[in-house]
Structure 1
Amino acid sequence: MEVILVRHTTPNIAKGICYGQADIGATTTFEEEVSIILKKVPVNDTDITYYSSPLQRCKLLAEKLSSTVIFDNRLKELDFGDWELQKWNDIDKKELDVWMNDFVKTPAKNGESYIDLHNRTTDFLTELKAKNHQKVVLVTHAGVMRSLWAYTNNIPLEKSFELKLNYGDILSFHL
C-alpha cells in the first residue's frame, strides 16, 4: 500500500505560539498553498482512500483533495495540554526544560507525550494495513508525519525531529 502524507497549510496563528491540538484555521495564503499541493497529490481519485485529522487546518485541505474524507482523531497533532495557545516564551521554563530533555516520554502538563502520539498513530497505521487499500492520502500534522516516518524507517523517536517539514510538505512510503 502506498501512503502519502500531506502536512496542512500555514495555520492562522502568530509565530511563537504553542498550538498542537488547538483548532486553528488557515491563513489568507491557503488557496495559493493548496494550488501547489494539488499539483502533487491525486485529487478525487476513486482508487484512493483519503483520511485526515479533524482539526480545521487539515480538514480544509482534505476537503480540497476529496469529497469523501474519513476523519480520524488519531491523526491529530500532539496534545500540549495547558500549554495550548500560550507563547512558548511564557511557558514555565522549568516545565519546558523537563519536556525538552525528554519530549518522547514527558507530556506537557495535562497533555500527552510524543510516545502517546506515536502509539495512537502506529495504531492507526496497523488498522490501515488490515484494510488492504492500494493507496491512501493522510492529511495531518508535522508531529504525526515524523512519528510515522520514524516508524516506517526504523528511526528512534528522539531523532525524528531531524526530519524538517514545512507547511504543505508531502512524504510517501509503502507499507
Structure 2
Amino acid sequence: MRLILVRHPQPDIVPGLCYGRTDVAASAAALSLVTAKLREAGLPGALPVYASPLTRCAVAAGALGAPVKLDARLAEMDFGTWEMRSWEDIPRTEVDAWAADLLHYRPGGGENVLEVARRVAAFRDELRASSLPAALLICHAGTIRLLCSLHAGGGLEQAALRAASSAHRIAYGEVIELKD
C-alpha cells in the first residue's frame, strides 16, 4: 500500500503553545498554500482521502474537493491540562517525568504515547486490510511520526518509542510518502 501523509497547515495560534488535541483552525493563508501545493502535485487525484476530525486537518482535506473520511484515530495526542499552555509554562519536572517514561507517562493527565500508537496502528491495519492500493491522509506531526515508525517495522512498543524519541522535524503542509 502507498500512503501519502500530509501534515496540516499551520494553526492560527501564537507559537510555542502545546495544542495537541485542541481543535484550533489553520490560518487562511497557510490553508491556501497547502491546498495549492497539493493540487499542483495532482493530489488527491483518485486517491481516497482520510483526515483527522480536528478542524486544521478536516478543513484542509475538504478544500481539496474530494470526499473525505474523518477518523478520530488520526487525531493528535491529547496533552490534557498542558493543552493551550506555553511549553515554557509547563513545569520542568513534568516534562522530565514524560522524558523518563515516554511510553506510559500521561502529559497533563491526557493520553500516553502507547495509547496513541495503538489507535494509529489500528487505523493503519484497517486501511491495509481494505486492499486499497493507496490513500491520502491529512493529519498531525505526531500521527505521521507514528505511521513512519510503524512502517519501519518492529513491535508496537518499539515503534511508539522510536516515534516519541524522534526529533519533530515535519513542517506544516509537508508531504511524506510511504510504500510497502
C-alpha distance in 2, partners of 1:130/1:78?
Answer: 24
- CA apart distance, 1:163: 5.8
The change in CA–CA distance for 1:41 and 1:80 in structure 2 (over 3 A counts) is farther
Match of 1:42 in 2: 43
Match of 2:130 in 1: 131
Match of 1:115 in 2: 114
Runs (4+) of structure 1 exceeding 3 A deviation are 155-159
The change in CA–CA distance for 1:148 and 1:122 in structure 2 (over 3 A counts) is same
Match of 1:10 in 2: 10
String of CA shifts for 1:132-175, please: whole Å, max 9, x gaps.
11210010000000001001113743333236200011111124
The change in CA–CA distance for 1:137 and 1:99 in structure 2 (over 3 A counts) is same
Instruction: Give the 3-state SS of the residue equivalent to 2:5 in structure 1.
Output: strand
Amino acid at match of 2:101: D
Query: What TM-score comes out, normalization by structure 1 length?
Result: 0.91
Q: Say which is worse superposed, 96-105 or 145-154, in terms of deviation.
A: 96-105
Q: Is 1:162 paired with 2:161?
A: no
C-alpha distance in 2, partners of 1:154/1:41?
Answer: 29
- CA apart distance, 1:64: 1.9
Instruction: Give the 3-state SS of the residue equivalent to 1:148 in structure 2.
Output: helix
Amino acid at match of 1:14: V
Q: Is 1:31 paired with 2:36?
A: no
> What value does the CA root-mean-square deviation take over the aligned residues?
1.7
Of Structure 1 and Structure 2, the greater helix share is in 2
Query: Superposition pairs for residues 75-86 of structure 1, below 5 Å?
Result: 75-86=74-85
User: How many residues in Structure 1 have an aligned counterpart in Structure 2?
Assistant: 173
Query: What TM-score comes out, normalization by structure 2 length?
Result: 0.89
- CA apart distance, 1:62: 0.4
Question: Is the 8 Å Cα contact of residues 50 and 66 (structure 1) preserved in structure 2?
Answer: no
String of CA shifts for 1:27-75, please: whole Å, max 9, x gaps.
14221232123223523x34x2110000000011101224310000000
C-alpha distance in 2, partners of 1:169/1:126?
Answer: 23
- Consecutive unaligned residues in structure 1, runs of 5 or more: none
- CA apart distance, 1:108: 1.0
